[in-house]
Chain A
Amino acid sequence: MGRLDHVFKHAFLVVFSVATLFPALWVVKMAFRAEQSFATSMNPLPTAFDLDNFAALLGDALFGRQLLNSLFVAALTTAVGVFLACTAAYAFSRFRFPGRRAGLMFLLVTQMFPGTLMTIPLYSLMEMLGLLDALLGLVLVYSTTAIPFCIYMLKGYFDTIPRELEESAIMDGAGPFTLFWRIILPLSRPAIAVTALFSFMTAWNEYILAATFMGDERAYTLPVKVQSFVGDYTTEWGYFAAGALIVSLPVMALFFALQKHLVGGLTAGSVKG
């Protein structure tokens, strides 16, 4: 391993990282300029530190409400999605029962349903249930969208937990629920964290269904709001950028807090099927 070799690698990685971060820095820059036009200088670093855009957004009661909407939907989706995915993944991992293969296959196949095929019927279903413009309708849809992937991820992780642990617990008289609750779940915290992150991101970032189902501005989630700043003819880039930062920051914070587990969780889970 020569020194020169490392210098080249660093040079490449630095250039690549800068190129990767460029668009992201751009958003930061525009967010802190008190202008709505697109920033056109080549310097991606913020040239001003102006909080006008943020103040305008956060001072708007409607935006505050939409922020709460998003938080509510994402948090509840995470809770529902993770709970259902954990129980189902446990069964897929630990039991051999008629319909198991079919079930796994079904989960895989749901990933291939084109969104458009689902949007129209879901719209009718939500209308029938009186759940249009309702945050809980979004929660239901999002958690079911997230569940198949979460089940796959968790099942993969559960598979790696040695069965000896459960066998010894059964000797001590533990029932299936105790095994699940006291052994499997505590041992799977990293995978559950990743699953939770995934569910949260699904709900927090989803745009098309929210835009289709939410007609009332007070029921908008943030993606719909942020997108509305980018019009066909004019775009309020300043507001858009500030909104984008507000939307992205929580996800990024969670993402980086969990990124160690992310690598492990993904490789152990989804990927090893």
Chain B
Amino acid sequence: MKSASPFGFLGPVLATIVAVALGTFVFHRYAAERADSIGRARAEQAARWLLTHGPTGVEDLRRSGTVRLAGVAFDAPPAGSRYPYLRRPIWLAHTEPGKVEAALSRDDPAEKAAADALVQDELVRLPDGGYRAAAGERLGGGERRAAVVELAPPQRVLVPWPGLSMAMLAALVFWWDLARRNPASRSRPVVGALTVSVGVLGLLAPRLLAVDRLEVPASVGSADVTGAAMLLAGVVLAPLALVVGTGWRHGSRPSPHRVAYAYIGPALLGLGVLVLVPFLYGVALAFTRASHGEVVFVGLSNFVDILSSAGRSLTEPLSFYFTLVVTLLWTLANVVLHTGIGLGLALLLKEPTLRFKGVYRVLLIVPWAVPSYITALVWKGMFNQQYGLVNHLLAGVGVAPVAWFSEFWTAFTANVVTNTWLGFPFMMVVSLGALQSIPADLYEAAAVDGASKWQKFRHITMPLLRPALVPAIILGSVWTFNMFNIIYLVSGGQPNHGTDILITQAYRFAFEQDRYGYAAAYSVLIFFILVIWSFFTQRFTRSEEA
């Protein structure tokens, strides 16, 4: 039944190798050209800059250490001479102090360039990859001035993408073999052996060919080049995987599992590299004391410190338990408010005879559309003690200005108000959608039976809303639990880290105190709490799963 030969996969492998080779070539050319144009532009800029800044500029450049050589040359027609073309250019300033006031020699290339630049600008690439630019200008009275700058070759960084592409290739082959594996096939050992050898070769090839790391001029901005190459590899690999996996080539009917893996493959590959790998690395960090590149394995001591609240009483703001309680409180308050307000508005808006409900719905969705960091910053302004609007409003009803962020409860309230503003539209939209899917005849039948409004809500609306609302609430609770932006930008943890939730606390440990290991352990605990919560809530949603 299977028509594909065991060597069928050599086609895509070869295609990938060609793609990688082509990518490498294009990449090299592109990187070289970009680096050259950047180097030229920099050298020219430096010379022009030096020309306007003169000798002080030379001193600045010397101190900055960014140039190999810089000098300003000057010449003037000899005073009173009958031969004005007999000029003697000298160095006004030079990075080598000994050269100052000395005459320019025509033998030294840099000095020749400077002398020439008095007449004509120059921009050359030096044999070692550096750049020399010389620029000149005419001053009054026949005086001329020139600046010359030599830049060292641009620094080079090593990027591992060829090796990575090869590894990706090996992974692809492994994966593809897995996807197409047919238990009945007798050629399986052959395919297996071939796959393993191609995989090993794929991993070793870059080392053998000494291309596992490419040198890229740092000035190219590591950036676009590597990215372009990676993207190229990805763009080539993903559809290839899709096509190969679906057996598009031969029109043969592939096994359904293989097709499934082929469709999931690209997404899973991305998630694996950019989600799973960093996650595992983060978990590993939790067992270390890591700071500024130094990593020391410390076992469970981070966890012990956190969970025993070492050095603090349990009810102090920086203790894990205090922060946990604040986080739970924060999540609960928000979820209740989001759901309550969202559902309430949805019930109001579902009324078929209500006019302008489209308008209301659009207006009430606005907070959802505003980026959360903007919301946070605007509300931070609104809660400002001096100029904030909230205090102005309170002054209108005779309340003295409140310093919102100096007390725990007021700061907490400010956070909750901001997040409620931000979050209720989501719940409203979800509830509206679910309400619309409830058949109207149910209500009619209930009305015929003489059910009260409350009874209709209790026995029709609630049960039918549940399947849509419960997962939305769970999702919302996870989002709120990890809602970094609002806490970090509105209260910023004031007063004294009291209103920080777990995630902002972890961020502070990492990026404000450089305790990466401790922060990672904190994050692992957060993760566990959420996983437990989701297992707990799975029971509510399980029935939905087909």
List 17 additional A-B contacts (Cβ < 8 Å) besides A10-B354, A128-B160.
A20-B363, A38-B388, A84-B238, A117-B279, A117-B506, A120-B519, A129-B164, A131-B222, A227-B377, A244-B378, A251-B371, A255-B368, A255-B369, A263-B432, A266-B430, A271-B433, A271-B472
- Contact (Cβ within 8 A) A114 B544: no
Chain B residues with CB under 8 A of A244? 371, 374, 377-378
List residues of chain A with CB within 8 A of the CB of B468: 267, 271-272
Least distance between B190 CB and chain A CB atoms (Å): 24
> Which among B263, B377, B378 is the interface contact of A87 at CB below 8 angstroms?
B263
**A252 / chain B contacts, CB cutoff of 8 Å:** 366, 369-370
> In the complex, A120→B482 CA distance in Å?
17
Interchain residue pairs with CB less than 8 A apart (13): A13-B349, A21-B366, A37-B387, A40-B392, A91-B262, A100-B260, A114-B527, A117-B523, A136-B224, A136-B226, A144-B271, A205-B372, A272-B471
Q: Is the CB of B159 within 8 A of A270?
A: no
| B343 CB, min distance to chain A CBs, angstroms | 14
Are B274 and A9 closer than 8 Å at their CB atoms? no
A residues adjacent to B (C-beta < 8 A) = 1, 6, 9-10, 12-13, 16-17, 20-21, 23-24, 26-27, 37-38, 40, 42, 83-85, 87-88, 90-92, 94-95, 97-98, 100, 103, 106-122, 124-125, 128-137, 139-141, 143-145, 147-148, 151, 159, 175-177, 180, 201, 204-205, 207-208, 212, 216, 219, 223, 226-227, 230, 235, 237, 240, 244, 247-248, 251-252, 255-256, 259, 262-264, 266-267, 270-273
The answer to whether A42 touches B396, judged by C-beta atoms less than 8 angstroms apart, is yes
- Which residues on A sit within 8 Å (CB–CB) of B541? 273
Find chain A residues with CB under 8 A from B251 CB: 175
Complex: chain B residue closest to A124, CB-CB: B281
B242 at the interface (CB under 8 A from A): yes
Q: Is B297 located at the chain interface by the 8 A CB criterion?
A: no
On whether the beta carbons of A131 and B226 are closer than 8 Å, the reply is: yes
A204–B371 contact, CB under 8 A?
Answer: yes
Which residues in B have their C-beta under 8 angstroms from that of A21?
A: 363, 366
Inter-chain CA distance A259–B365, complex, in Å, is 9
Contact A118 B275 (CB under 8 A): yes
**Closest beta carbon of chain B to A198's beta carbon, Å:** 12
Query: How many Cβ-Cβ contacts under 8 Å join chain A to chain B?
Result: 320
B279's contact among A16, A94, A121, A129, by CB below 8 Å, is which? A121
Q: Quick check: B530 and A112 within 8 Å, CB to CB?
A: yes
- With a cutoff of 8 Å between Cβ atoms, the chain A residues found around residue B516 in the complex are 120
Closest Cβ of chain B to A75, distance in Å, is: 13
Question: What distance in Å separates the Cβ of B527 from its nearest Cβ neighbour in chain A?
Answer: 6
Does any Cβ of A come within 8 Å of B198's Cβ?
Answer: no
Q: Across the interface, do A205 and B371 meet the contact criterion of CB distance under 8 Å?
A: yes
The answer to whether B257 touches A95 (Cβ under 8 A) is: yes
A23 to B254, CA, bound (A): 57
| Residues in A whose Cβ lies below 8 Å from that of B503 | 114-116
B248 at the A interface (CB under 8 A): yes
Residues of A within 8 A of B369 (CB): 248, 251-252, 255-256
B545 lies within 8 A of A273 (CB): yes
Q: Which 3 A-B pairs have the closest CB atoms?
A: A136-B227, A267-B433, A117-B523
Task: Enumerate chain A residues within 8 angstroms of B364, measured Cβ to Cβ.
Answer: 16-17, 20
Indicate with 1 or 0, residue by residue over B148-172, a CB within 8 angstroms of chain A CB atoms.
0000000001011100100000000
List residues of B whose CB falls within 8 A of some A CB.
157, 159-161, 164, 216, 221-228, 230-231, 238, 242-243, 246-248, 251, 253-254, 256-257, 259-264, 266-268, 270-271, 273-275, 277-279, 281-283, 285, 345, 348-349, 351, 353-356, 360-375, 377-382, 384, 387-389, 392-393, 396, 421, 429-430, 432-434, 436-437, 467-468, 471-472, 475, 478, 482, 484-485, 502-503, 506-507, 510-511, 516, 519-520, 522-524, 526-527, 530-531, 534, 541, 544-546
Bound CA–CA A237/B241 (angstroms)? 50
Q: Which of A91, A106, A237 contacts B263 (CB 8 A)?
A: A91
Q: Per a CB cutoff under 8 Å, which of B271, B392, B510 touches A148? A: B271
- Given A223-B373, A248-B371, A118 contacting B363 (CB threshold 8 A): no
Q: Is the CB of B270 within 8 A of A140?
A: yes
Partner pick for A9 among B354, B544, B546, CB 8 A cutoff:
B354
**B395–chain A nearest beta-carbon distance, Å:** 10
The interface residues of chain B lying within 8 Å CB-to-CB of A235 are 381
Interchain CA distance A266-B138 in the complex, whole Å:
70
A267 and B366 within 8 A (CB): no
State whether B510 touches A116 (Cβ < 8 A).
yes
How many Å lie between the Cα of A139 and that of B224 in the bound state? 12
Given contacts A12-B348, A262-B429, A263-B433, contact A134 B222 (CB under 8 A): yes
- B271 proximity list for chain A (CB < 8 A): 106-107, 110, 144, 147-148
A129 touches which of B161, B362, B387, B527 (Cβ 8 Å): B161
Closest A-chain residue to B384, C-beta based?
A38
Instruction: From known contacts A40-B387, A244-B378, infer whether A129 and B348 are also in contact, taking CB-CB under 8 Å.
Output: no
Q: What residues of chain B lie closer than 8 Å to A40, measured between beta carbons?
A: 387, 389, 392
Knowing A125-B274, A135-B223, A136-B228, the reply to whether A264 touches B378 (Cβ < 8 A) is no
| Contact A120 to B224, CB < 8 A, known contacts A16-B345, A20-B363 | no
**Inter-chain contact B429/A207, CB cutoff 8 Å:** no
Find the A residue at minimum CB distance from B436: A263
Contact B348 A130 (CB under 8 A): no
B371 touches A122 (CB 8 A): no
- For B541, give the chain A residue with the smallest CB separation: A273
Q: How far is the CB of B376 from chain A (nearest CB, A)?
A: 9
Report the separation of the CA atoms of residues A95 and B263 in the bound assembly, to the nearest whole angstrom.
10
Nearest to B269 among chain A residues (CB) is A84
Contact A97 B160 (CB under 8 A): no
Which A residues are CB-close (under 8 A) to B282? 117-118, 120-121
Residues of chain A within 8 A of B378, CB atoms compared: 23, 26-27, 244
Task: Report yes or no: B227 in contact with A109, Cβ–Cβ below 8 A.
Answer: no
In the assembled complex, which residues on chain A have CB atoms less than 8 Å from the CB atom of B520?
A: 117, 120
Complex CA gap A113/B226 in Å reads 27
A134 touches B224 (CB 8 A): yes
CB pair A175–B246 under 8 Å, yes or no, is yes
Contact indicator B226/A88 (Cβ below 8 Å): no
Residues of chain B within 8 A of A20, CB atoms compared = 363-364, 366-367, 421
Q: Are B484 and A23 in contact (CB under 8 A)?
A: no
Among A109, A133, A145, A267, point to the contact of B531 (Cβ < 8 A). A109
Q: Are A177 and B285 in contact (CB under 8 A)?
A: no
B396 surroundings in chain A (CB, below 8 A) = 42
Taking the closest CB of chain B, its distance from the CB of A243, in whole angstroms, is 9
The one of A9, A113, A219 in contact with B351, judged by C-beta atoms closer than 8 angstroms, is A9
- State whether B392 touches A134 (Cβ < 8 A): no
Question: In angstroms, how far is the closest chain A Cβ from the Cβ of B45?
Answer: 15
- Contact among B228, B381, B421, B544 for A272, CB-based, below 8 A: B544
User: Closest approach, in angstroms, between the C-beta of A157 and any C-beta of chain B?
Assistant: 13
CA distance A226 to B524 in the complex (A): 32
Q: Flag if B471 contacts A273 (CB, 8 Å).
A: yes
- Asked whether B223 lies within 8 Å of A134 as measured between CB atoms, the reply is yes
Contacting residues, chain A, for B355 (C-beta < 8 A): 6, 10
Q: Is the CB of A90 within 8 A of B263?
A: yes
**How many angstroms between the C-alpha atoms of A270 and B484 in the bound complex?**
22
